[in-house]
Structure formats: structure tokens, C-alpha cells
């Protein structure tokens, strides 16, 4: 991105030279990013209308960590206006400095892995010829209309940028990256979202949309769920990711562990306490070439690496930033950037097509409402699903609206837990026995 290094180099220099009264800057860590995005959306079946127009955005952003000559620390944000206001920013930073011994993390030079995250073709799409973006939007609208979708939402976007972390101790890492994303939401029932570091061709988009349309066809017939009863519940990968993020990753987060907001204590990680079934594994793998969730280093400059949080059902590593790693006496860990970087295992995954044939009575859960309202520390949940597919004797027979009440921690301990492979999704879905209620009555 033109001019980015110049801007942030100037800013780094200005921050390092910053003073406030008698105070001067002793150490600095600067995390920065610049991105350029071109996007358009479909809202309430209106393509590129006034609420989701073709939009072009440039954004510089980031954060600084300063240690002043009195040993105190300041944190703040940076953006495209910081350099022009750097004196004011430094005054505010000095006024906000605090004692925070564990927060003083100014890493030196680090080796970071070479993960391909950048594609020239995305850059060309933004700079030279954006016609593929318009064609992608047309593809979404035309397929929706041809298949009788009453209300279509979604969109396409292309982005490119650079990200870096520099420190006064000699850390100097930066990387270019790109991203192409499309999403499609059919009749408020079936949502799909795909993101990659390269451009999706129209043919590739079509293949993925066809699978979504097949799911959509199975939701066209509304059916009652009937009585509350035991059934096999299959969480679509989007839903599995949502629950994993809330109940598992949220409780693995370092500050929650350290401050007692997680059911898992620091000692549980020391002891490798068993929390899930003995073949359960949850890890982050940010090294997959061109994957949307991949990266080379975190915002704090922690190098990307494969990291197991839970293996054999036992707690191994919390998700630790540098500060909480010091507080807990452990090393900082890579963090999941999105579901695409997660690794989830619990036995051999079974393809959805195969599993469906073996379900006597069950639901494929395509969406749930209210995950963020659940008490993450308990694991128990009570979630309404406005769109689930009733599966009976191997057939997807129609849409049901149900309520799921269960305990996600118990689900992940169940001997009958299975991971389910869905095409084009790296993260599997999850299947387990549960009790399902109708959403009414």
C-alpha cells in the first residue's frame, strides 16, 4: 500500500522522540496496519443500494505501548491522524501512564515463519480492474433470483494491506496480506461465508453456492418439531465455531483464567486437567498457506506457530498474550484469528452425507440465536434455533424451529460426540445426542 511504511516510520520516530515535561520515552512497541478495501453488499434484496453501496475505504490503525523514563506504561491507538497530532497524543499518553510491571513487553528480534498471505490478483482487482467484484455481486443476485429466493442478503469484498510490529528493542517484522470474501444469506435461513487470501473465481463461487442452495431447498418446507425428545444434534461448522468460540476459547482466554472468570484455573493447565473426551483436540494452526485465518505474527509480535490448547481432552495452554503469560509464568501463545485457523478433532471425522444416512431422527442446526447471552463459565446453554433441518431416516425433510438445552462441556465429553466434515469448511461440524424442544409451547 503506497506510503504506508513512510507514515509509520515517521510515526515511530515521533513516538520515540516524544516527551512530556521531564518524561521521555524509554521503550516503544508499535503495532500497525494499513488496509484498503473495496466492497459491495446486497441488503434486503437490493444490490449495491444506498445501505450497502460500492464502498472504498483506506484505514491506518494500530496501537502503541510506551515505557516512560519513570518506568510507567502507556497504551493507546494510532491511526491516520496520529502523526499530525503527535504532541497531543503524547501528552494524553503521559497522563494515562500506569504502573504495570507485567505489561512491559518490548520484544527483541524474532524469527517469524514465512506464511503466504498475499496475492497480486487481489491487488489488481482493487487498483486496476474491479469488474470481477461487480461480476461476483451479479452472480449472487442472479443465482438467488433463479432459485426463487425471496429475500437475499450478502456481499463481496476485496482487501489488501500490510501489518507490522516494531519495537525499540529491535523487533521489526511486517507482512503484506490480501483477502477476498463473499457471503450469501438466503431468505434469512441459510447463511454462508467464505474468505480466502486469493480471488475466488466465479466457477469456485458457484460450486460453493450450489451446496448452500441445496441446504436452502431443504428448508423450504416448514415442519413442526413435535414433542420434546431425544435426537441427534448436528451443529453446522458455523454454529460449532460460534459455540466453541463462546464456551471454550472464551474460557481459555488468559485474563479470564487469571482473574477467575473461567471455570479453569491456572493450576488446571499446570496439571493438564481432563475437561473433555480423551481424543478431543483444539489447536490453532495459523500456518496454512492463503487460509483466511492464517498469519505470520500476532499484534504483539508473537510468531505464528501450531499451538495445542487442549489435547487428549486435557488442558494444555491458555490463549496468552504477553502480559498474561508473564502473570501466569508461561510463554505467550499464538491466538486464533478466526475459525479458519482452528483445528478441532474428536475421533475420525465423518462426512455429512454419510452421517445423514445414519440419523434416524435428528436436526442439522444451521443457526442459533443468543449464544452471546449464555453464561460462558457454566457451559450450559439454552439456545433457540430459527433454522434447523429435520433429518429423518437419512433424508433432509424440512425446516424446523427448535430450542436446544444442554451443556456444551458435557457434549464435548460425550462418548457419542463426532466431528462432521462439510465440503469447503476446514472446521468440522459437531454431532452428539441431545434433547430437542419445539420453539413454541
Considering only residues 242 through 271, tell me which ones interact with other proteins, judged by CB under 8 A.
255, 259-263
Torsion of CA 125, 130, 135, 141, to 10 degrees: 110
Residue 379 β-bridge partners: none
Q: Does 51 bind other proteins (CB under 8 A)?
A: yes
Q: Does 55 bind other proteins (CB under 8 A)?
A: yes
Q: How far is CA 171 from CA 304, 326, 341, 399, in A?
A: 15, 19, 25, 54
Query: What is the closest distance, in whole angstroms, from the C-beta atom of residue 423 to other proteins in the complex?
Result: 26
C-beta of 24 vs 56, nearer to other proteins:
56
Site pattern 95..114 for other proteins (x: CB under 8 A): xxxxxx--------------
Q: Record the cell numbers describing residue 154, joined without a space.
A: 450478502
Site pattern 286..315 for other proteins (x: CB under 8 A): ------------------------------
Count the site residues for other proteins by CB under 8 A: 80
Judged by CB under 8 A, the chain residues 169 through 188 that form the site for other proteins are 187-188
Q: What angle do CA 292, 295, 301 make, to 5 degrees?
A: 150
Residues 6+ apart with CB under 8 A from 2: none
Judged by CB under 8 A, the chain residues 152 through 171 that form the site for other proteins are 153
Q: Does 403 bind other proteins (CB under 8 A)?
A: yes
C-beta of 97 vs 322, nearer to other proteins:
97
Choices 82-90, 117-125, 167-175, 301-309 (CB under 8 A): range interacting with other proteins:
82-90
Cβ burial of 147 (10 Å; 0-12, 13-18, 19+) is: middle
Binding other proteins by CB under 8 A: which of 57, 145, 202, 223? 57
Choices 49-57, 229-237, 296-304, 352-360 (CB under 8 A): range interacting with other proteins:
49-57
The length of the chain is 441
Please state, in angstroms and rounded to a whole number, the distance separating the CA atoms of residues 257 and 318.
8
Query: What is the closest distance, in whole angstroms, from the C-beta atom of residue 73 to other proteins in the complex?
Result: 8
Please name which of 388, 410, 407, 411 lies closest in space to residue 399, comparing C-alpha atoms: 388
Binding other proteins by CB under 8 A: which of 17, 24, 49, 229? 49
Helix/strand/coil for 26? strand
Please state, in angstroms and rounded to a whole number, the distance separating the CA atoms of residues 319 and 249.
8
C-beta of 172 vs 220, nearer to other proteins:
220
Query: What is the closest distance, in whole angstroms, from the C-beta atom of residue 355 to other proteins in the complex?
Result: 26
Site pattern 120..149 for other proteins (x: CB under 8 A): ----------xx-xx--xx-----------
Please name which of 64, 65, 43 lies closest in space to residue 54, comparing C-alpha atoms: 43
C-beta of 10 vs 395, nearer to other proteins:
10
C-beta of 414 vs 419, nearer to other proteins:
414
DSSP class of 330: S
DSSP class of 348: S
C-beta of 211 vs 377, nearer to other proteins:
377
Q: Within a 10 A sphere around the Cβ of 373, how many other Cβ atoms? A: 10
Please state, in angstroms and rounded to a whole number, the distance separating the CA atoms of residues 430 and 280.
12
Question: DSSP of 121-160, one letter per residue?
Answer: HHHHHHHT-THHHHHHHHHHHHHHHHTT-SSEEEEEEEEE
Judged by CB under 8 A, the chain residues 1 through 20 that form the site for other proteins are none
Query: What is the closest distance, in whole angstroms, from the C-beta atom of residue 134 to other proteins in the complex?
Result: 4
Q: Record the cell numbers describing residue 81, joined without a space.
A: 491522524
Q: Does 75 bind other proteins (CB under 8 A)?
A: yes
DSSP class of 140: H
Query: What is the closest distance, in whole angstroms, from the C-beta atom of residue 295 to other proteins in the complex?
Result: 21
C-beta of 290 vs 409, nearer to other proteins:
409
Q: 125-139 as b/e, with b when 16 or more CB fall inside 10 Å?
A: bbeeebebbeebbeb
C-beta of 42 vs 284, nearer to other proteins:
42
Site pattern 363..382 for other proteins (x: CB under 8 A): ----x-xx-xxxx-xx-x-x
C-beta of 156 vs 284, nearer to other proteins:
156
Could you tell me the sign of the dihedral formed by the alpha carbons of 253, 258, 264, 267, in that order? positive
Binding other proteins by CB under 8 A: which of 4, 15, 89, 282? 89
Alpha helices, DSSP H, located in 147-285: 202-217, 237-243, 250-252, 254-258, 266-271
71 conformational bin, left if phi > 0, alpha if psi -120 to 50, beta if neither: left
Query: What is the closest distance, in whole angstroms, from the C-beta atom of residue 384 to other proteins in the complex?
Result: 4
Query: What is the closest distance, in whole angstroms, from the C-beta atom of residue 174 to other proteins in the complex?
Result: 19
Query: What is the closest distance, in whole angstroms, from the C-beta atom of residue 3 to other proteins in the complex?
Result: 9
Amino acid at each position: 500500500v503506497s506510503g504506508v511504511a513512510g507514515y509509520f516510520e515517521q510515526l515511530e520516530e515521533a513516538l520515540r522522540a516524544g516527551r512530556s515535561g521531564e518524561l521521555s520515552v524509554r521503550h516503544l512497541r508499535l503495532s500497525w496496519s494499513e488496509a484498503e478495501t473495496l466492497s459491495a453488499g446486497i441488503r434486503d434484496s437490493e444490490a449495491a443500494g444506498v445501505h450497502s453501496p460500492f464502498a472504498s475505504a483506506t484505514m491506518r490503525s494500530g496501537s502503541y505501548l510506551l515505557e516512560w523514563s519513570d518506568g510507567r506504561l502507556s497504551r493507546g491507538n494510532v491511526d491516520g491522524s496520529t502523526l499530525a497530532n503527535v504532541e497531543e497524543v503524547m501528552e494524553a499518553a503521559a497522563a494515562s501512564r500506569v504502573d504495570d510491571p507485567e505489561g512491559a513487553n518490548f520484544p527483541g528480534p524474532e524469527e517469524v515463519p514465512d506464511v503466504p498471505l498475499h496475492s497480486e490478483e487481489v491487488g489488481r482487482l482493487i487498483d486496476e480492474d474491479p469488474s470481477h467484484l461487480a461480476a461476483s455481486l451479479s452472480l449472487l443476485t442472479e443465482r438467488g433470483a433463479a432459485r426463487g429466493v425471496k429475500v437475499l442478503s450478502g456481499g463481496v469484498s476485496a482487501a489488501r494491506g500490510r501489518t507490522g510490529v516494531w519495537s525499540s528493542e529491535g523487533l521489526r517484522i511486517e507482512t503484506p496480506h490480501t483477502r477476498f470474501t463473499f457471503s450469501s444469506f438466503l431468505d434469512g435461513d441459510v447463511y454462508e461465508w467464505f474468505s480466502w487470501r486469493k480471488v475466488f473465481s466465479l466457477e469456485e463461487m458457484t460450486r460453493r453456492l450450489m451446496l448452500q442452495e441445496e441446504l436452502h431447498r431443504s428448508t423450504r418446507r416448514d415442519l413442526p418439531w413435535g414433542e420434546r425428545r431425544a435426537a441427534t444434534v448436528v451443529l453446522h461448522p458455523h454454529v460449532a465455531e460460534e459455540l466453541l468460540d463462546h464456551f471454550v476459547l472464551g474460557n481459555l482466554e488468559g485474563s479470564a483464567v487469571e482473574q477467575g472468570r473461567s471455570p479453569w484455573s491456572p493450576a488446571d493447565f499446570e496439571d493438564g486437567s481432563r475437561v473433555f473426551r480423551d481424543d478431543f483436540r483444539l489447536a490453532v494452526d495459523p500456518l496454512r498457506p492463503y487460509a483466511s485465518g492464517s498469519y505470520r505474527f500476532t499484534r504483539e509480535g508473537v510468531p505464528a506457530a501450531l499451538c495445542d490448547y487442549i489435547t487428549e481432552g486435557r488442558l494444555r495452554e491458555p490463549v496468552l498474550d504477553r502480559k498474561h503469560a508473564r502473570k501466569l509464568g508461561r510463554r505467550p501463545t499464538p491466538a486464533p484469528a478466526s475459525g479458519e485457523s482452528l483445528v478441532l478433532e474428536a475421533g475420525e471425522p465423518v462426512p455429512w452425507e454419510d452421517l445423514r444416512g445414519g440419523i434416524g431422527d435428528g436436526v442439522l442446526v444451521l443457526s442459533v440465536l443468543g449464544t452471546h447471552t449464555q453464561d460462558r463459565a457454566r457451559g450450559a446453554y439454552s439456545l433457540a434455533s430459527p433454522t434447523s433441518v429435520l433429518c429423518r431416516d437419512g433424508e433432509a425433510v424440512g425446516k424446523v424451529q427448535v430450542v436446544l438445552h444442554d451443556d456444551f462441556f458435557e457434549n464435548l465429553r460425550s462418548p457419542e460426540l463426532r466431528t462432521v466434515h462439510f465440503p469447503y469448511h476446514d472446521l468440522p461440524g459437531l454431532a452428539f445426542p441431545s434433547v430437542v424442544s419445539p420453539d413454541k409451547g
